[in-house]
């Protein structure tokens, strides 16, 4: 029984008010049929003429028979008279099957690669449901990315959510692409590194070039058939941007927990997502909290990030690498700040390292992987991994102090030990953090480099390494 | 049957009803066909406002709302311990068995198992006079904890009927009581209590006993009292959760209520797994035997996040009433404050600072005031200690939640980003943290640990403060030009930082350190300082002193001397003497 309501009461940007609606439920998807409007001179005038336009929207507020609807697409062409509204009777859903891999879809999950519709085995509500903490499996197996700064110091674990905090103009896209190309399940991990990665890529408000860069990279490394791309580009409607990551994560959950695949999800750029939320919230006339963002920014971000994980009884996993550009490189801005409180660590890119042409410009000090401690060590990587990492962190923190001092009293006046630290700092940035765009290092190589650098310092300065491990590895690394 | 109404408007977790069907404020209601749990939070002649504890997606105007006639409450009976609940006391394990990996909306489950039989020992006899709080039965709830079934509030009189000892469910009658006005009341193990109302006590005691945590920087420098309140603020990655886990594992409370309020799902899973394997050092039983988890992760509905803090503290008060010492880990109170803000925004209330509602401060104080060391109605003594993590926005302690918490919590443990970056854990900054309890607890430390404990502690803190002052100079001119006595202060402070303040949670010996060892460590460090000071006063240069590896040896004590072999400290004192005599003989 498809009742259609003719006419609208109000249009305000992407928000529409319809009155006299009966039986609508909160969060229901509605379909609009927009009648042909004579619009001579517009580029679409020729092709669209005569056809009715279909648009989708979601009910975001109901009071009595009045429904406030958020339209996913542009509201251009809509008028208060020419639009018919139909309730679909279900929340936002996406049809899924394994065929989704290898496809390119819009931010709403509609194919835009011209290969026809995706066969749907099941339909899933894109909002998802919270995972029960009792049924989660605590993530322990590491993912080898071949990048020393990540593998060695902020190890990525299967089922983790580890964002890249970046700034405009920094090579976060290259880094994410390199991770995707090189990511392999550690061969020595508990299940012998069985299984392969499939990739779900969600672009929210990114530039065409960026999306294209990723598409080309996937193609070049032969992964295209394992990638599902959801694209909402920067000129696509903002309301669609709010749903894009949910659609992508619903696909990821389906592939991981029902099809037992290991899924790496790249979400870029979370800043655009949050900006879109602010835009829509202010249109709705909501009370802003920090910097104009709505009070529920934390809950919304959490609803996305928490969809990473491993569950009992399924072989697959969802690992998230969200990318966000920190406005003005400010890590205390609400978006990186709230993200850091939800995700299990962060990889922070640093402009000054980029200027020194260090690639990847990862500042290891504020970077962190919370799950690392349980996924490394004798069982997984090597027994000295944690100690080496701690020592590198602690020594590199000391480098900062020595540099501060040098900038005041001059390098020549430094004590011999502080000079050693300066030498160590430089070598650490060049040789450990810095590596080639296509260089794929093994864990052994990473740890060996770590030991080599630590040998620059006097042995008694290494206070974070267990005496036995120090004796065993000091000479040979 | 409760009062019925009809949904009119829906906006996120806030549902409104046209008119006033006659609900009470804070009454629990079932919303919609799926019977989602909600609470009445606003009454007006034209409109009733309800906050719903579950995802409201799918609700329609016109669906029924049904009141239950009482405020939102928790069920109190055996079965709470070693369990995991969501923010409104729904058992997550049962829900997982019912519906699998994800939590569906409208999941219905009894808070506690109604079928399970508990071995019960009745402790009253017919003819006994009993009053609210009197213990009527004992049930071994877990290996560690005996559950004392108490008379609910408002019931008193004479016991007229008693069941024999045996196995009972939580709903079967154990005892019947005739009240003063002649009514007969049948009592089972179960009682209910509204979460927003503190359970009454006879009187409060001053907080003069410490909560021993085995964490050196806490026990020694910034102690928490039993029945006290502590705030643990820190930006992300500074180790709030890690510190909370350490406290939950090792502190000497009888019972731990761990509230994961708006935090990560994987962390709760970690606690579940780890506490199910680790042993309590005192009793030798599993840690989970004395722990209850309340998990309202960040993606679970926001209104239940707001309630989870109250659910947790009500459970804590219930066990306190039995005469136990309970510690609550609330991780994190900022998420709770943000839930308040989010709901306040939906209600279109006038925002105060940073968008938080103006009642933030009064809600926070009401929460922290539920802590205390008390005499219960039944005469027993118990305590509730609150340790609340705060996640300040941008790591900036001047934001409203941190500032308001600081007003109500008496112990402030500031986690520091730069310490965390250098992987100095626990990253508690010794210059900005404080504990108002030190004065109250000094007498206890003097009697139970050693008369020189407090003086030692003050000297240690003094050296650290001096180091900070000297570092200002070092930053400008380098450390080489300092006089030797100041270099000695810097060296000793280094020993204190590395050997005493830093504590390795993953090291078998270092993760928990008894008070005696903490004292001995301080003594040995200060002994070294005094001896070196004497040498420096004899004009021996620091460079010479530093050639000896005695400083490194003292730093390594935390790993090298096991917690049981405290007699080995004599060796170290001997080493220091030897070092001293040797230098005097060769150099002076």
Nearest by CB to residue B269, choosing from A136, A289, A331, is A136
Confidence (pLDDT) at A51? 64
For the segment B134-152, what is each residue's pLDDT rounded down to a tens digit?
Answer: 999 999 999 999 999 999 9
pLDDT of A234 higher than 70: yes
Q: What integer is the mean pLDDT of A108-128?
A: 92
Q: Does B206 touch chain A (CB under 8 A)?
A: no
Among B413, B448, B451, B384, which residue's Cα sits nearest to residue B221?
B413
What mean pLDDT value characterizes chain B? 92
* B381-390 vs B325-331, strand pairing mode: parallel
Helix axes A385-409, B453-477, angle to 10 degrees: 50
Query: Which ipTM value was assigned to this complex?
Result: 0.86
List residues bridging with B7 in a β-sheet.
B17
Nearest by CB to residue A408, choosing from B418, B424, B475, is B475
Confidence (pLDDT) at B22? 87
Confidence (pLDDT) at A135? 92
Q: Does B33 touch chain A (CB under 8 A)?
A: no
Helix (H/G/I), strand (E/B), else coil: B161: strand
Q: What percent of chain A has pLDDT over 90?
A: 65
pLDDT of A349 higher than 80: yes
Q: What integer is the mean pLDDT of B345-349?
A: 84
For residues A139-153, b (16+ Cβ closer than 10 Å) or e, as one string? bbbbbbbbbbbbbbb
The burial class, CB within 10 Å (0-12 / 13-18 / 19+), for B182 is exposed
Residue pair A396/A365 in contact (Cβ under 8 Å)? The answer is yes
For the segment B22-58, what is each residue's pLDDT rounded down to a tens digit?
Answer: 898 889 999 999 899 999 988 988 999 999 988 888 8
Q: How far apart are the C-alpha atoms of B321 and B516, rounded to whole Å?
A: 31
pLDDT of A351 higher than 80: yes
Tell me the CA end-to-end span of chain B in Å, nearest whole number: 93
Q: What integer is the mean pLDDT of A353-364?
A: 95
For the segment B577-588, what is each residue's pLDDT rounded down to a tens digit?
Answer: 999 999 999 876
Confidence (pLDDT) at A45? 45
Q: What integer is the mean pLDDT of B399-405?
A: 94
Three-class SS of B471-487: HHHHHHHCCCCCCHHHH
Q: Does B490 touch chain A (CB under 8 A)?
A: no
Q: What is the pTM of this model?
A: 0.91
Q: What integer is the mean pLDDT of B274-289?
A: 87
Q: What integer is the mean pLDDT of B384-404?
A: 92
Q: How far apart are the C-alpha atoms of A472 and A466, rounded to whole Å?
A: 10
List residues bridging with B30 in a β-sheet.
B37, B66
pLDDT of A21 higher than 70: yes
Residue pair B444/A379 in contact (Cβ under 8 Å)? The answer is no
Among A209-213, B104-108, B261-265, B272-276, the minimum mean pLDDT is found in B104-108
Nearest by CB to residue A25, choosing from B59, B421, B476, is B59
* A197-206 vs A227-233, strand pairing mode: parallel
Helix (H/G/I), strand (E/B), else coil: A416: helix
Based on its alpha-carbon atoms, the radius of gyration of chain B, rounded to whole angstroms, reads 28
Confidence (pLDDT) at A463? 83
The burial class, CB within 10 Å (0-12 / 13-18 / 19+), for B461 is middle
What distance separates the 2 farthest-apart alpha carbons in chain A?
A: 85
For the segment B75-89, what is each residue's pLDDT rounded down to a tens digit?
Answer: 999 999 999 999 999
| Residues 528-567 of chain B whose Cβ lies under 8 A from any Cβ of chain A | 549, 552, 555-556, 559
List residues bridging with B39 in a β-sheet.
B28, B51
Phi-psi region of B286 (alpha: psi -120 to 50; beta: other; left: phi over 0): beta
Confidence of residue A39 (pLDDT cuts 50, 70, 90): very low
Confidence (pLDDT) at B114? 92
Q: How far apart are the C-alpha atoms of B273 and B271, rounded to whole Å?
A: 5
Total CB pairs under 8 A between chain A and B? 227
Contact: A415, B96; criterion CB under 8 Å:
no
Measure in Å the smallest separation between the Cα of A287 and chain B Cα atoms: 6
Contact: B58, A290; criterion CB under 8 Å:
no
Confidence (pLDDT) at A187? 57
Closest residue on chain A to B104 (Cα): A129
DSSP for B177-203, please give it.
EEETTS-EEEE-S-EEEETTSPPP-SE
Nearest by CB to residue B58, choosing from A25, A289, A408, is A25
- Cα–Cα distance list, B57 to A3, A26, A90, B13, B99 (Å): 21, 5, 10, 9, 18
Q: What integer is the mean pLDDT of A163-177?
A: 95
Q: What percent of chain B has pLDDT over 90?
A: 73
Phi-psi region of B134 (alpha: psi -120 to 50; beta: other; left: phi over 0): beta
Confidence (pLDDT) at B281? 75
For the segment A397-441, what is each residue's pLDDT rounded down to a tens digit?
Answer: 999 989 988 988 888 888 889 999 999 999 999 999 999 999 999
Residue pair B240/B331 in contact (Cβ under 8 Å)? The answer is yes
Q: What integer is the mean pLDDT of B540-568?
A: 90
Q: How far apart are the C-alpha atoms of A327 and A275, rounded to whole Å?
A: 11
Confidence (pLDDT) at B346? 82
Contact: B11, A61; criterion CB under 8 Å:
yes
């Amino acid at each position: 029984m498809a009742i259609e309501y003719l006419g609208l009461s109000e249009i305000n940007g992407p928000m529409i008010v319809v009155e006299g609606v009966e039986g609508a439920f909160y969060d229901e998807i509605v379909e609009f049929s927009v009648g042909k409007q004579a619009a001579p001179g517009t580029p679409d005038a020729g092709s669209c003429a005569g056809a009715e336009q279909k648009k989708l929207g979601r009910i975001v507020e109901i009071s009595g028979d009045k429904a406030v609807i958020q339209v996913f697409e542009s509201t251009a062409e809509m008028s208060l008279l020419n639009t018919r509204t139909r309730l679909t009777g279900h929340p936002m859903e996406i049809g899924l099957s394994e065929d989704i891999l290898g496809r390119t879809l819009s931010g709403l999950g509609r194919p835009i690669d011209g290969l026809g519709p995706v066969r749907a085995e099941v339909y899933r509500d894109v909002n998802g449901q919270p995972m029960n903490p009792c049924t989660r499996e605590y993530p322990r197996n590491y993912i080898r990315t071949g990048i020393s700064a990540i593998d060695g110091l902020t190890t990525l674990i299967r089922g983790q959510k580890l964002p890249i905090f970046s700034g405009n103009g920094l090579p976060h896209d290259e880094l994410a692409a390199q991770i995707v190309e090189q990511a392999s399940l550690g061969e020595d991990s508990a299940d012998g590194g069985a299984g392969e990665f499939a990739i779900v890529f969600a672009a929210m408000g990114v530039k065409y070039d960026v999306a294209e860069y990723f598409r080309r990279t996937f193609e070049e490394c032969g992964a295209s058939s394992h990638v599902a791309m959801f694209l909402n580009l920067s000129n696509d409607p903002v309301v669609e941007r709010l749903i894009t990551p949910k659609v992508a994560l619903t696909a990821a959950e389906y592939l991981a927990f029902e099809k037992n695949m290991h899924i790496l999800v790249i979400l870029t750029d979370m800043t655009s997502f949050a900006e879109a939320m602010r835009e829509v919230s202010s249109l709705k006339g909501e009370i802003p909290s920090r910097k104009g963002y709505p009070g529920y920014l934390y809950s919304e971000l959490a609803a996305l990030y928490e969809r990473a994980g491993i569950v009992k009884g399924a072989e697959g996993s969802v690992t998230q690498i969200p990318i966000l550009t920190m406005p003005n490189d400010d890590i205390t801005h609400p978006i990186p700040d709230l993200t850091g409180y939800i995700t299990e660590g962060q990889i922070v890119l640093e402009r000054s390292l980029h200027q020194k042409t260090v690639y990847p410009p990862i500042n290891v000090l504020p970077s962190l992987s919370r799950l690392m401690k349980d996924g490394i060590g004798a069982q997984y990587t090597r027994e000295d991994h944690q100690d080496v990492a701690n020592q590198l962190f602690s020594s590199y923190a000391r480098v900062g102090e020595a540099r501060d001092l040098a900038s005041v009293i001059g390098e020549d006046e430094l004590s011999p030990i502080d000079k050693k630290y300066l030498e160590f700092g430089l070598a650490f940035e060049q040789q450990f953090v810095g590596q080639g765009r296509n260089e794929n290092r093994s864990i052994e190589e990473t740890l060996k480099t770590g030991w080599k650098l630590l040998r620059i310092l006097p042995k008694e300065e290494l206070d974070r390494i267990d005496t036995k491990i120090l004796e065993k590895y000091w000479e040979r690394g | 049957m409760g009062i019925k109404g009809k949904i009119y408007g829906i906006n996120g977790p806030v549902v409104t009803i046209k008119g006033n069907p006659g609900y009470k404020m804070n009454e629990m209601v079932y919303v919609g066909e799926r019977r989602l749990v909600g609470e009445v939070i606003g009454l007006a002649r034209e409109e009733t406002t309800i906050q719903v504890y579950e995802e409201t997606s799918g609700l329609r105007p016109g669906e029924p709302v049904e009141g239950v006639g009482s405020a939102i409450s928790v069920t109190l009976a055996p079965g709470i311990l070693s369990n995991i609940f969501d923010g409104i006391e729904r058992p997550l394990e049962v829900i997982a068995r019912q519906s699998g990996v994800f939590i569906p909306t409208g999941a219905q489950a009894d808070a506690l198992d109604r079928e399970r039989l508990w071995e019960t020992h009745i402790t009253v006899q017919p003819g006994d006079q009993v009053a609210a709080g009197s213990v009527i039965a004992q049930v071994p709830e877990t290996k560690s904890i005996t559950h004392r079934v108490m008379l609910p509030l408002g019931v008193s009189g004479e016991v007229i009927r008693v069941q024999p000892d045996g196995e009972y469910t939580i709903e079967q009658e154990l005892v019947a009581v005739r009240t003063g006005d002649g009514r007969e009341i049948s009592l089972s193990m179960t009682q209910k209590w509204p979460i927003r109302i503190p359970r009454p006590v006879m009187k409060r005691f001053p907080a003069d006993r410490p909560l021993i945590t085995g964490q050196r920087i806490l026990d020694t420098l910034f102690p928490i009292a039993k029945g006290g309140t502590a705030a643990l603020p820190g930006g992300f990655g500074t180790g709030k959760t890690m510190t909370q886990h350490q406290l939950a594992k090792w502190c000497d409370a009888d019972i731990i209520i761990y509230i994961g309020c708006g935090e990560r799902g994987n962390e709760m899973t970690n606690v579940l797994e780890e506490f199910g394997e680790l042993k309590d050092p005192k009793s030798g039983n599993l840690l989970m035997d004395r722990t209850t988890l309340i998990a309202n992760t960040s993606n679970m509905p926001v209104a239940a996040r707001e309630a989870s803090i109250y659910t947790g503290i009500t459970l804590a008060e219930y066990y306190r009433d039995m005469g136990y010492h309970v510690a609550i880990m609330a991780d994190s109170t900022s998420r709770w404050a943000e839930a308040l803000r989010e709901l306040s925004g939906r209600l279109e209330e006038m925002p105060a600072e940073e968008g938080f509602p103006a009642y933030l401060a009064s809600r926070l104080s009401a929460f922290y005031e539920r802590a205390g060391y008390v005499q219960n109605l039944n005469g027993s003594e118990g305590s509730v200690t609150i340790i609340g993590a705060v996640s300040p926005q941008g790591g900036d302690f001047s934001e409203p939640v941190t500032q308001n918490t600081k007003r109500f919590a008496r112990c402030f443990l500031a986690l520091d980003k730069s310490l965390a970056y250098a992987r100095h854990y626990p990253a508690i900054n010794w210059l900005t943290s404080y504990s108002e309890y030190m004065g109250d607890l000094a007498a206890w430390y003097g009697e139970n640990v050693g008369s020189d404990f407090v003086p030692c502690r003050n000297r240690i803190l003094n050296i650290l403060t001096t180091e900070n002052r000297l570092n200002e100079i070092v930053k400008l001119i380098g450390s080489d030009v300092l006089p030797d006595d100041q270099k000695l202060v810097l060296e000793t402070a280094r020993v204190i930082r590395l050997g005493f303040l830093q504590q390795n949670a993953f090291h078998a010996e270092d993760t928990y350190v008894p008070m005696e060892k903490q004292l001995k460590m301080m003594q040995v460090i200060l002994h070294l300082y005094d001896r070196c000071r004497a040498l420096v006063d004899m004009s021996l240069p620091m460079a010479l002193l530093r050639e000896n590896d005695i400083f490194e040896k003292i730093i390594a004590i935390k790993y090298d001397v096991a917690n049981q072999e405290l007699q080995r400290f004599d060796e170290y004192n001997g080493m220091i003497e030897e070092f001293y005599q040797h230098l005097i003989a060769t150099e002076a």
